[in-house]
Structures are given as structure tokens and as C-alpha cells.
Structure 1
Amino acid sequence: MPLSAAASAREILVRLHDVMAARTSAQAKLNQVADIIAEALDSEVCSIYLLREGVLELFATHGLEESAVHVTTLALGEGLVGTIAQNVETLNLDEAASHPDFAYRPETGEDRFHSFAGVPIIRRERSVGVLAVQHVEPRRYADIEIEALQTVAMVLSELIANADLIDESSAATTRIQSTATARVQGFKLVDGMGAGVAVYHQPRIVIEHTVAEDTEAERRRVYTAFDKMRDQIERMQAQAEFGVGGEHDEVLEMYKMFAYDEGWSRRINEAIDSGLTAEAAIERVQQRTRMRMRQIDDPLLRDRMHDLEDLSNRLIRIVSGRLGTAAQLGLREDTILIAKNLGPAELLEYDRRRLKGVVLEEGSLTAHVIIVARAMGVPVLGRAKDIKRLVAEGDKLLLDVGSEALFVRPTQAMEEAFEAKLALSQKRRAAFAALKGVAPETKDGHRVTVMVNAGLRDDVAALDLTGADGIGLFRTEFQFLVSATMPARERQQRLYRDVLDAAGDRPVVFRTVDIGGDKALPYLDHDEAGEEENPAMGWRALRLALEREGLMKAQARALIEAGAGRTLSVMFPMVSEPWEFDQARAIFEAQRGWLADRGKKLPTQIRYGAMLEVPALAEVLDLLLPKLNFLSIGTNDLTQFLFAADRAHPKLAVRYDWLSPAILRFLARVSGQARAANVPVAVCGEMGGRPLEALALIGLGIDRLSITPAAVGPIKAMVRSLDRAAVMVQMADWLARPPADMRATLSDWAAAQGVELD
């Protein structure tokens, strides 16, 4: 075997080029390909399987029984070959029979072969076949041999496409031809409503020529494309319409960092060295990245790799001269954009006047494009399965992210209902906006404090838009989640100071980082925690921060310096026992002392609080309360811990009610203890943002809520229509003798009292 992957692949590609140019049948070409690969890799078997009518058929072989060709078939997911095709993954085994998916086919005569390696043949991002090699002696194939196989598989995809051997009927993504109305379910990423025609972000550029005639010419094409792509990104960042200094700016900085990554350009160069065209080299590197993405469990790291996907698509379009994304062709009317995933820079290219919404096949709350979409005010629905099958270009669409739904080819009645809901939503927003200068005071004169939860610098604008009393929970971890490396202390300090400046004289409560568990950071080593089956209850939040004392010291100093000359409120998440609070507070106090010794300006006061999310803390609350300036109850985590029910589980999410007597009694006990100790208590979480649940909380004596900005208006309206004393009497009675259905009982009482809940 040659000494480099590039040399071995180039040797094979030179011979394949002659095969592809020959005037022979497709079957003869595939037979020759199998012979060439077997010889080049010194392998006793080389087999080519193609996807036909939903099954993988042995199309050509060197080394197996010839009589098995066109006879042996495997379903997707069946055997090693079926597993490779279904998962679009590479297998490299020194003992094939030891793999749990191994399936023996006696007609092939493969029982004497031990080693096995196989790679998917990919066309338009899906497997259309498998290329496999086998050897009598047990051995793993070297990395350079696997890379050579993967490169050859790209050329094979071109060969079988040109020979019309790709069975399009087997494609899972074949779009249905229909004029019927359809509803596509999704996941709320950026709330809002919009109507428009379906426009696909980009037609996939299919690479027609994979084998290079002139390697140096291909290299020059890639260098030129890199220069153009980087210039585009620089211009986009300079022209962003929604201002500078927000998290979206940091996102674009990181996106730019990927564009200038030397490792990425080096891998493309190595693929060109192997004999591929510029387009094929970019796609070859990207295929390898996609396979890596499928093996990564960390959703945050996968989100970062979507940026690289975006850049690869952009580079292929530039190098091929086909710049035809929907953005570059121009939107002609109100549009709902559809894409598998979008990069942040790609979204910026669209005309915001015509872009009414985005629907993604994938997408997540932590993806960079979501930060940019939120800044642009564009509603986004994610995880929309079957979208390509159900929606054709030009279809009329109604997007209602609040209902987590996309309506395809709606009827006139559906359009009228949508327009009525949109008009009502706008009317209600206007009514709620009119309340922004009005205090949330009950009918009997009790003032309720209504604050907002935030996590981005831009979220502070919600204070002026809603008239909220302050920020009751600023999630500091978002800056850590969108960064490729640990944010420097100076960068953290700048964010915290900007938030305090924007809030003015309104209070801001900073929660220290809640990372770890299901919010793992790619640049932190999590080996000590191991594989966590229950990440929400694992090595996260304060537990992780106390162990990573350097991380917490840096954040403490950044917060203290940012709060110089004003009151700083700091809250520690997921406190389970008082000593954890003591240790965290001691770290902050040590940093305050360190800064004082150096003559630095300090906050006039540091107020320390804890989040009660772990039920165990309630049992030792009497020991902790004397040390606290305030207490916040995190209802999202608390309820799942109380019920031992994962709130993300679809069956459990609706099984346990926030208005259960178990939760309400727990909250009543905790808030009563806090009031007796003269410690302010607030509820942070989704529970406080729902009018009926907030009504129950006020009935328990809780009069501080920290909620999403969108909920401020409805909560203010509810508070102003409520007699607090009356609901407190009723709640005491209901908790002593719980009704069969607390939710229905509370709803009926509210309706009878004229409390505004909707």
C-alpha cells in the first residue's frame, strides 16, 4: 500500500478515469472498478452494492462467488452493508462476525474472510450503495486505506448516476405530489407568525465531475473561492442591519473564525492532492464532517459543526460558479424559507421585508442562526420532519410557531382563521403594550413585582418594551455556549456591564453559569462525570462550578468589576445543601477582597441568593435563609425532581400538573418559611408566566415573578383584575382540602370573579 492517502487515492483515480471514459456497459465498468480497488488495496474481496427498490443488491464483486451478483440482497439496516447504508457510516472491523449486525449470506462464499471495511456511496446526502472490501486474515484496514475507499466511493456515485443506476424511487425524501392541505409539526425556536409561499433555501449542487484533469488548476480554483467567501463574510458582518455589540455579533465572529480555519483548508488541499476536482474535494471533506456529526452526542458541538456545513455549501457554490441560493436570486414575494439547516451568515443575506419566517428540518435553540433570527425578528420553526416530502416550491404556507405548526396549502377557512388569530395577536400585543407603563397592582392594592428572564444582551430591550420591573434571572451561560473557547474574563465583564448599563436603575439578578449535564461545552473536559444517563440531575451548575474553581473565580471577578459603583445581585443555581452556597459565596468574597487590595472600584453592595430547584434544600432551608438576601424557586427543574419525571418526555410532560396539590403545598411551605425569615422569594420559570398558574402563586403569597418577556403583558392584565386577599383565602382552603381537579376549580373561580386569564 502506498505511503500516503493522497497517493493511494490518486493511483486508483487515474485508473478509474480510464474506466469511466471507456465505451463499455455500466456492469462492465463496475466489474473493473471492483478489480482495481481490490488490487490497489491488496484486498482479496471488493464488492459494490447498489440501492434498488429499497434493498441493497450485490452489483459487482472481486473475490466473492460470481453467482451471487444480482442475487444477494440486504435490507437497509440488515447486516454490515445494510448498517453502513442506513447510518451513512464507515465500518472497519478485524473480525466481521463479531459485529452484532453481521449477517451471513452462504451464497457469497464469504465465510472464509475475516476482516471487513465498508463505506457508503453517497449521492445528494443519502446512501445509494456501499463499497466494501474483505480479507482472509483478521486485520483492521489502515486509515489511509479507508480514506482511499471514501474517495473512490465519491467517484462511484458519479459513475452510477451517469449510468442511471441510482434508483430515485428508493429515496426516502421523494416529495409527494399533492394539492391536499397538510400540517407539519415542529419545535418552537423563535416565536411568531407569518404567511408566504414556500421557497427552498438552495437546490443541492450535485457534483458531476469528481476526477481532476489538472490538480494545480483545481487548487487555484479553491484558493480563489476561499478569498471570495471570506470577503463575503466580512461584508455581511459590516452590513448587519440590527446593530453591533450583541450576541449575534459574537456569533458572526466565530463563524468568521471557521472560514479562516487553516485545518479545514488543509484537508481540502489534501483531497485535491488525491486527484479530486475542487468541488469534489470540498464535498469529500464535508462528507467526512457529516459522518463525524452523526457520531457526536453533544448537541452544542453539533450546532457548531452546522456552521462548517454552511461554509462548505457556500464554498462549493462559489467554486462551481452556481451562486443560486434563494437569497442571491432574490425573494419576489412574502416568503417562508425552508432549509435543512442555515448558517447565521446565510440568513443575513435575505431581504427582511419579504422573509416572513423560516422552517428548518433540524435546528436547535442553541444554534447560531437562532440568535441571529431573534435579533432580526424572524419566526423560526425547527425539527420539521417530512418537510421536503410534504411541501413543494411555491406552496402557500401559514407559519404559527406558537402552536408549533406549519400549515401547507391551507383552505380559505384556514387562512381566515389564521388572519383572525394574527389580528387578535396583534391587538392583544397592542393592549398589553399599553400596560407597559402601568403597575401590576391587584384590585385590593397589593403591588406584584413582575420581572423578566434573559440570557442575551439584546434581551434587556424587553424591559422598555414591557415595562417589567427588572431582570429576575439573567442566564450567564449563553455566552459560554456560543463560544468556541472559554470566554475571557474581560469579555464576560463587558457583557455584564452592558446589561447593567442597559437596565439602568432596574435590578438585574445574575445567575452564575449553569453548564454541564445536557449543556456540555466542547472545550471543557467532562470525563470525570462519565456518561450521564440523567444529565439534568448530574454534574452541572454549581456542582461543576465549585469543582472548576478557576471558571467560577473568573466569573466572580468579571461580575464584581462590572458591578462597580452599583448594587450587584448574584444567584447560585442548583444549590442542594447550605455548604455549597457558603463555598460559592466565599469564592466571590475572596475575589472582592483581591480587587479591594488593588484599589479597584467595587459594587456598593453584593446581594447573594440561591435557586431552590433541588427538593433536598427545602429540608435545610432554616439553616440557609439567615445567609440569603433573596431566594428564587426554579419551577422547571423543581417539578421534574419532585415528580421524578423528565419534563422533556412526551408522555410525562402532560401527566403531572403544575397546579397539583403536591407542588402547591411544597411552594406554600417554602414561601411561608422565607417570608417568616424576611427573605424575599421569587418564582423563576415557565409556571410564573402562565396566568392561571401565576394566580395560584399569588394565592400562596408569592408576589415576585420572573418570566419570559412575552408573558409580562398577560400577567399584568391578570394581576390588575385580581383580588389578592380573596384568592389567598381560597387557596388556603383548597390546600387543606384539595379538590379533585385543582385546575378546573381554580379556572371556575377565576371566571366567576372576572379575573382576566386570556
Structure 2
Amino acid sequence: MLNAVAAARKILTRLHEVMASRSHAQAKLNTVVEVIGKSLDSEVCSIYLLREGSLELFATRGLAQEAVHVTRMAIGEGLVGTIAGNTETLNLAEATAHPDFSYRPETGEEKYHSFAGVPIVRRERCVGVLCVQHADPRRYEEVEIEALQTVAMVLSELIANADLVDEDEAWGLSPSQTGTERLRGLALVKGLAIGQAVYHQPRVTIEHTVAEDIEAERQRVYLAFDKMRDQIERMAAQAEFGVGGEHEEVLQTYKMFAYDEGWARRINEAIDSGLTAEAAIERVQQRTRMRMRQIDDPLLADRMHDLEDLANRLLRIVSGQLGTAAAQGLRQDAILIARNLGPAELLEYDKRRLKGVILEEGSLTAHVVIVARAMGVPVLGRVRGLRGALREGDQVLLDADAGTATIRPTPALTEAFEARFAKNRERQAVWAGMRDVEPITADGTRITVMINAGLRDDVPMLNLTGADGIGLYRTEFQFLVSATLPQRERQTRLYREVLEAAGNRPVVFRTVDIGGDKALPYLNHDDGHGEENPAMGWRALRVALERGGLMKAQARALLEASAGRTLNVMFPMVSEPWEFDAAKAVFDQQLAWLKGQKKMLPEAIRYGAMLEVPALAEVLDILAPKLSFLSIGTNDLTQFLFAADRSNPKLAERYDWLSPSILRFLKRVMNNVAGYKVDVTVCGEMGGRRLEALALMGLGIRRLSITPVAVGPLKELIRKVNLPELTAQMDLWLANPPADMRSALTRWACEHGIDCD
């Protein structure tokens, strides 16, 4: 291997002089092929570059000079095209024996038998090919292939700096990725948006590949390794990952690679050959990618992906390019591109510039989706191959309604989308004009329409929408976006600000819903970690009752913030009446303490429960007498009823909210509480959809708490509804369900002049 290092270093030393010269790009490439050919004692050395979708012979030593800028090969054509198409290395003793060999008479290559070629890679894509040929039929030595691969990396810098390939190739996009393309995914937050693609984690740009001082580069890598290993150790020590389960396995693999001497040695050898620290890491990463393409074993492929992720982390550390796009600031209307996002990360972005989000992963139940919905930002998730499909700065037409994103659209597509976007804004303007209109049905029934919130910035939406109050304030958002457990004083201050901003309109505070898939890194999770079904596990009220201090602090904060006002407090994920009793006892205890301290108390306290667990419906006769209100959380309730994880893309849209089983269940709940003075509210996403809201009103539900953007459309719908007619029809359908309830309800709405789009 030392021979490989010496050979590469010898060539790079000479290339460094070539690149530093004032010659024009063509002259430099002409010199480069001479240097490589002589150093490897090869009779032919040629460079092909990707231009206008084909590989053009740009410089050669040994082939006919008349073929330069004349000989072209398509991607996948001939040996050169095969190397570019597969981003792979070829080393052949007899070139003509290869099935992809393509003879080009103008080059005069018929006398050469051996052939070796390596891809010239720029930003993970092939933009050219470097190849050598020899008259004698022989395979090139591994030392020579290693040297060629290292030189190809340096050539990519020269090529990019000299603008020798089209901008699209320099960005690393193949010809098929430069035209219009439509990506499909799962609609997580519906809406339309236009903007330029911006990566949440910007790509690291390697500016210099040839080292000035090898020892200085080696020291930079050593320090980066130390820092990366410290980060991995801290991650492994965090209680968020607990003991056992997949997280620990992932971290153990990370640690294995982080301390792998073979990986570190290969990077060191690349530096010895004359590369900078960044280029050395990228050089080893390129080898890893080539190996990944040849791996059929999915488990081994996953491990190679882990190494890829770790190499990216090391590259970011050594280059100092650690910030996200949020830290750098958005400069134009942007569509954010990411593998996944947390709620705190999303909140860092300028809301005026952030128009939409596209995720490679993401799920309907993720908290970032709830935050995005509150911000009015459309989100498309589960988009496969996202990072390989577009580049930074590409125009994107995001249609989260249809679950698609069009990248690099034609002017005609953009014009049509903008027309639709404008029409959508007109409708939104009409709905915004409903702010001061009361939601009263055609037969004179007042429907209560409230909003769901969780951020301080959500509260002004009360005035903008004319909503009746906040039917669900998710208190856990303050915990999720905080680096440490929020102190009681901070909680009190937030709750008081929310109540003051709401004025005389009610605010229903849901106690913290954490745990399961919403683990907080600063809380020690001894139990329930690594659950296979976290949504159905150790979360919400179950965690709060176990963590007495957490619930006591929140109870005190809510009671103190509500002094002189009415406090509406709701407990999430109640499964049995005793859980409600235990939670209320915590509030009673804190209330008694405040009385003893002569503190000012709430004027009244109304206690409620969320019906998300189906079991609670069977004991409402026991619980209802203790309740002031009951809120039905349709998001969790639906997946529990159908045993269908909504974060699973195969199940996410399989079961319909308008299924007779859901509607019959909700009707039974309404019947079970009919004899009690309990306000029933639907506070899930179901209530914010016009057709679903129509069905809910037909079931007898008169209170809805929805996302702010749905208030206007819902008010418009309510004013067209004749409840007696709707209720009678729903009763008929529940007794004898149609084959397709959604279609039947849509037809009924159209016949009665109600637009349920």
C-alpha cells in the first residue's frame, strides 16, 4: 500500500504545479494526461468529460489527437460510458473481450489491449472518466488503480473550477436529473407552495483537494476524529436511547465505525498521497459508495449506510461547515429539503421565507407535522431518493394536496401552478372574510369552532380567524423545543401569556403528552424505551402519573397562571376512570397547598379527559359524572380502532375516517354521554376536513377544535348545513351503510349546495 501512496503522491505533486500554473484549462488537461501516462508508464492516458449529456474525449496521450472533442459516447455506451453510468472502476487485460466494448476507429486504439478506467466524481455523481491503455494485454496493478482514483478526485476540482462541464454536471446531476421531474410522497400537511430547494443540512463543498502541508492535514483529521468520537459517546450516554432496542444497536454500530482503525488508516493513507483532510475523507467515502453498489446483502448495505452517515459527520467537523440552513438564513422563498426534522429545528426557520417542507422520511404522527400545520407550512414526506433527485436552488412546485412535488418545472407548468395557487389564495381570502361571521347552521344551530394550538405564536390566530377559543393547547411543545426541562416559573409565564392573549375566550390546556415516540433527551426513560408500538406505550398520562414531580410542577403552573380566571385542564390518553381520578388528585393537592399559602386561586376549574383509547368508551357511565368536558382525539383513536400505525406508509391512508366503524363508534360515544352535562368536542384532524366535519355534525357533535387554517372553510360550510336533514340522513346510513360512505356523503353535499372539496 505504501507503493500506492508513493505513486499517487508523485503524481499529485506534479499535478499541483500544473493546477497552479496560468495555462488555460485545455492546456492543463493536456499536461495532466502526459504526467499520468509517464508516471504509470502507460502508453495511453485519456480524459472524457460529461458535456451536453454525453462523454466527450477532452484530452489524450497516445490516441489520435484528431479524435479530441470529436469522439463522444453516451452514458452506458462502450467501456467509458459503462464506467460513467455505473460509477465503477474497470480493469481489463483484454478490452475487446468485455461485452460493452465499443470500437472507435478515429481514435486509433486498435493496437491497445489492456484498459483501466475510473470515474471522475463531483458531488456524488460522475462527471467524467480517466482511463489508461497499454499495448500489452495485462491487468493494471492495484497500486496503479489506487493512484488513478486519487488523481481523478483532484481532476474533479480542476474541471469544476475551469467550468469544463455544464453547471448541472458540476452540481452532480446526470442528464436525466436536469429536466422536469415529479416526485411522489405522503401528504403530511396539505397545501400548495412555490420556492427554491434548500437543504436543511447543506452539502459540504470541498474547495481544495491537494495538500500544502501533509502533517497539518493529518492533525486536522486527528482532531476531527476526537471530536466525532466525543459526540458519539455523548449520544450513547444520553438517557433518550436507554438500554436495549434498535437505538442502542445503531449507536453500537456507529461506535464500531468511529473507532475502526482500518477506516482511520485509509484516510491517513489518502492524506499521505497528497490530499487535504476533506479530500481524503471524501476519497475513502467514494470507495465506500462503490462497494455499496456491489452489495446485495441488505443488512451489510445498512451497515455501509451507517459508515456513510458517519463519514458525512466527520467531513462536516473537519470542514467547519456545521450549521444548518436556518443558521445561515433563508434568502428567498424556500422549500426545505431534509431526511427528517424535529419541531425545534423547524421553528428556527424564518416563517416569512419558509414555504414548504419535503422529507425523505416523516410520519403523520410526528410532532414536526403538528408544528408545521400550526405554522401553515405544507409538508410532503416519504419521498424516496429525494437528495439524489434535486440540487440546491432548483425551483420546486409543492402540491401537498396531491402528494407530489414538481422539480425544475417548465414555464408552462409553473404558469398553470401559479394560476391554481392564485385561485387558492382567493378562496383563502374569502375564508379569511368569515372572521366575524358566526358559525350558525341554516336551521339556526350555533356550532362552536375552536382552534388547536401549542406555540405562543398560535394564539394570535384566535383574532385572525374569529375562533371561539382554544379547544386544545398542547403543553408538551414547550418541553419538546427546550434543551432542558422547563422550570415551573417558565411554564407559569407561558400559560399566563396564553390566557391573557385569549381574553375572555376559553383555553383548554392538555397536560403534557410525552413519552413513547416523543422521548425527551433530558428525561431519564428507564421503562418503555425501544417500544415496538410507542404510540400505544409508555406515554402521556401514564408517564405523568409515574413522574410525580413533572405533573405536580405543571399542575402548580396551570393553577397559578389561571388565578382569577377559569382553568380548563384536560388529561390525555385516559384508559380507565382511576387514571383520571389520580391526575385530578394531583391538582387537588396543589390547589390545597396554594390555599394554605393564601395564594390567589382560579375562579373555577373544569376538568376533562381525552377519549383516544377505545376502552374508555365502555366506562363513560362511570367517568362522565366527574367530567365537565370530553374531547375526542380522532388521530390516535383511529389508529387504535383499526390497529393501524399511521406512520406506516402502507397503512397511512388505508383506513378512512368516514368508515362506518368509526362513525358508529363516535355515535355510540355521543349516546353514552347524552344524559350528562358534558361538552363533547372533536379535537383531531378529522374535524378540520370539510366532508368529515359534515359527518361529525350529522352524528350530533356541536363542538370542533381544528387547525387555524381550517376555521374559515368550516364556517362557510356550517352556514349551508340544515342539521335536521343531515342528521336524518346520517341515521339512515349508520343503520344501513352504503358501499362507499365518502362518495355517498359527497353526493348528498353536492345535492344540497355544499362544496366539500
Q: TM-score range by the shorter chain?
A: 0.5 to 0.7
**1:742 is the counterpart of 2:741:** yes
Report if the CA contact (8 A) 2:186-2:649 is conserved: no
**Is residue 163 of structure 2 the alignment partner of residue 163 of structure 1?**
no
Partners of 1:569 and 1:350 lie apart in 2 by 32
In the alignment, is the contact (CA less than 8 A) between 1:375 and 1:458 conserved in 2? no
Q: What residue number does 1:681 align with?
A: 680
Match of 2:487 in 1: 488
Q: 1:220-239 maps to which residues of 2 (within 5 A)?
A: none
1:739 aligned partner, one-letter code: P
In structure 1, stretches of 5+ residues that fail to align are 1-11, 30-50, 60-121, 127-155, 227-266, 288-294, 296-301
How far the C-alpha of 1:663 sits from its partner, in A, is 1.9
2:642 maps to what in 1? 643
Distance 1:345 1:643 in 2: 31
Q: How many angstroms apart in 1 are the aligned matches of 2:343 and 2:518?
A: 21
Quick one: distance in 2 between partners of 1:335 and 1:549? 43
- State how far apart, in whole Å, the 2-side matches of 1:702 and 1:364 are: 28
Name 1:417's counterpart in structure 2.
416
C-alpha distance in 2 between matches for 1:464 and 1:412:
39
Query: Contact between 2:376 and 2:709, CA under 8 Å: does it hold in 1?
Result: no
CA distance in 2, matches of 1:671, 1:313: 56
Contact 2:374 2:708 in 1 (8 A): no
| Residues in 2 aligned to 1:372 and 1:515: alpha-carbon distance in whole angstroms | 15
2:577/2:622 contact within 8 Å kept = yes
The offset of 1:337, in angstroms, is: 5.9
CA distance in 2, matches of 1:19, 1:646: 56
What is the one-letter code of the residue matched to 1:208?
T
Give the C-alpha shift of residue 680 in structure 1.
Answer: 0.9
The CA deviation at 1:411 is 4.5
Kindly indicate whether the alpha-carbon contact (under 8 Å) linking 1:188 and 1:404 is maintained by their aligned counterparts in 2: yes
Q: What does the per-residue CA deviation read over 1:693-734, in whole Å, with 9 as the maximum and x for residues that have no partner?
A: 211211111100111111111111111001112212222232
Please give the alpha-carbon distance, in whole angstroms, between the structure 2 residues aligned to 1:398 and 1:727: 38
Distance 2:620 2:636 in 1: 18
Whole-angstrom distance in 2 between the partners of 1:324 and 1:508: 35
SS of 2:498's equivalent in the other structure is helix
| Residue of structure 1 in register with 2:662 after alignment | 663
Q: Does 1:316 align with 2:319?
A: yes
The offset of 1:582, in angstroms, is 0.3
| Shift, 1:431, TM fit | 0.7
- Residues 78-134 of structure 1, C-alpha deviation per residue, up to 9 Å, x if partnerless? xxxxxxxxxxxxxxxxxxxxxxxxxxxxxxxxxxxxxxxxxxxx99689xxxxxxxx
Q: State the shift of 1:185 in Å.
A: 2.3
Please say if 1:175 is aligned against 2:163: no
2:748 is paired with a residue whose SS is helix
Question: In 2, Cα distance between the equivalents of 1:518 and 1:367?
Answer: 8
**How far, CA to CA, are the matches of 1:473 and 1:667 in structure 2?**
19
Where do residues 618-629 of structure 1 align in structure 2 (5 Å cutoff)?
Answer: 618-629=617-628
Aligned to 2:205: 205
C-alpha separation in 2, matches of 1:749 and 1:394: 46
Using the TM superposition, name which of 748-757 and 370-379 deviates more: 370-379
Q: CA 1:422–1:384 in structure 2 vs 1: closer, same or farther (change >3 Å)?
A: same
Which residue does 1:575 correspond to in 2?
574
The 1:166–1:375 alpha-carbon spacing in structure 2 relative to 1, beyond 3 Å, is farther
Q: Select between 438-447 and 369-378 the one with higher mean Cα deviation.
A: 369-378
- For the structure 1 residues 659 and 366, does the alpha-carbon distance in structure 2 shift closer, same or farther, using more than 3 Å as the test? closer
1:600 is displaced (CA, Å) by 2.1
Note closer, same or farther for the CA distance 1:730–1:181 as it changes in structure 2 (3 Å cut): same
Structure 2: gaps of 5 or more residues: 13-35, 41-82, 92-120, 126-143, 157-169, 228-258, 286-298, 300-305
Offset at residue 413 of structure 1 (A): 5.0
Give the equivalent residue in structure 2 for 1:248.
Answer: none
Are 1:522 and 2:557 an aligned pair? no
SS of 2:459's equivalent in the other structure is helix
Distance 1:351 1:452 in 2: 23
Cα deviation for residue 335 of structure 1 reads: 5.9
CA distance in 1, matches of 2:569, 2:344: 35
Aligned to 1:595: 594
What are the residue-to-residue correspondences of 1:283-322 with 2, within 5 Å?
Answer: 313=316, 316=319
Q: Distance in 2 between matches of 1:324 and 1:466?
A: 33
Q: How does 1:22-171 map to 2 (within 5 A)?
A: 22=10, 161-164=149-152
CA distance in 1, matches of 2:594, 2:358: 49
Indicate how the Cα distance of structure 1 residues 639 and 161 shifts in structure 2: closer, same or farther if over 3 A, else same: same
Q: Could you tell me how far 1:566 is from its partner in structure 2?
A: 0.8
Q: After TM superposition, give the deviation of residue 476 of structure 1 in Å.
A: 1.3
TM-score, normalised with respect to structure 2: 0.63
Question: Structure 1, residues 1-21: CA drift from partner, whole Å, max 9, x if none?
Answer: xxxxxxxxxxx9x99987864
> Which residue does 2:530 correspond to in 1?
531
On the 8 A contact 1:282/1:312 being kept in 2, the answer is no
Q: 1:570 to 1:164 in 2, by over 3 A?
A: same
Counterpart CA distance in 2 for 1:346 and 1:603 is 35
Q: CA deviation at 1:555?
A: 1.4
Aligned to 2:116: none
Contact 2:363–2:646 at 8 Å: present in 1 too?
no
1:173–1:388 Cα contact (<8 Å) kept = no
Cα distance change of structure 1 residues 611 and 375 upon mapping to structure 2, 3 Å threshold: closer
Q: Secondary structure at the match of 2:176?
A: coil
Relative to structure 1, is the Cα distance of residues 167 and 672 closer, same or farther in structure 2, using a 3 angstrom cutoff? farther
Identity %: 58
Going from structure 1 to structure 2, the CA distance change for 1:182 and 1:751 (only over 3 Å counts) comes to: same
CA-based RMSD = 5.3
Counterpart-to-counterpart distance in 2, 1:280 and 1:189? 37
Determine if contact 1:567/1:605 at 8 Å carries over to the other structure: yes
* Amino acid aligned to 2:728: V
- Secondary structure of the residue aligned to 1:177 is helix
Native 8 Å contact 1:200 1:326 kept in 2: no
CA contact (8 A) 1:210 1:280 kept: no
> CA offset at residue 646 of structure 1?
2.2
Give the match's secondary structure for 1:609. Answer: strand
Whole-Å Cα distance in 1 between the matches of residues 383 and 646 of structure 2? 21
Distance 2:656 2:190 in 1: 24
Deviation at 1:467, TM superposition (A): 0.9
1:483 Cα offset (Å): 2.5
Q: What does residue 500 of structure 2 align with?
A: 501
Contact 2:171 2:391 in 1 (8 A): no
| Secondary structure of the corresponding residue to residue 164 of structure 1 | helix
- 8 Å contact kept, 2:568–2:608: yes
Q: Distance in 2 between matches of 1:731 and 1:373?
A: 33
- Asked if structure 1 preserves the Cα contact closer than 8 Å seen for 2:517 and 2:534, the reply is yes
SS of residue matched to 1:574: coil
Inter-partner Cα distance in structure 2 for 1:52 and 1:21:
25
CA 1:539–1:210: 2 relative to 1, 3 Å: farther
Report deviation, 1:741: 2.9
Q: Give, in angstroms, the shift of residue 314 of structure 1.
A: 8.9
Distance in 2 between the 1:751 and 1:463 partners? 30
Indicate the SS of the match to 1:721. Answer: coil
- 1:538-574 deviation digits (Å, cap 9, x = unpaired): 1111112111112111111121122122111111111
Instruction: Give, as a single letter, the amino acid of the residue that structure 2 aligns with 1:650.
Output: P
Distance 2:617 2:747 in 1: 32
Are the counterparts in 1 of residues 4 and 147 from structure 2 also a CA contact under 8 Å?
no
- Contact kept, 8 Å, 1:175 with 1:389, in 2: the verdict is no
1:698 is aligned with what amino acid?
M
Distance (Å, rounded) in 2 between the aligned partners of 1:729 and 1:662 = 18
1:672 is paired with a residue whose SS is helix
Matched, 1:471 2:470: yes
Secondary structure of 1:608 counterpart: strand
For 2:348 and 2:683, locate their aligned partners in 1 and report how far apart those are by CA, in whole Å.
37
TM-score, normalised with respect to structure 1: 0.63
Task: Return the offset for 1:670.
Answer: 1.2
Q: Which amino acid aligns with 2:610?
A: M
Superposed CA deviations along residues 418-437 of structure 1, whole A, max 9, x for unmatched, are 12321221111111111111
Q: Secondary structure at the match of 2:523?
A: coil
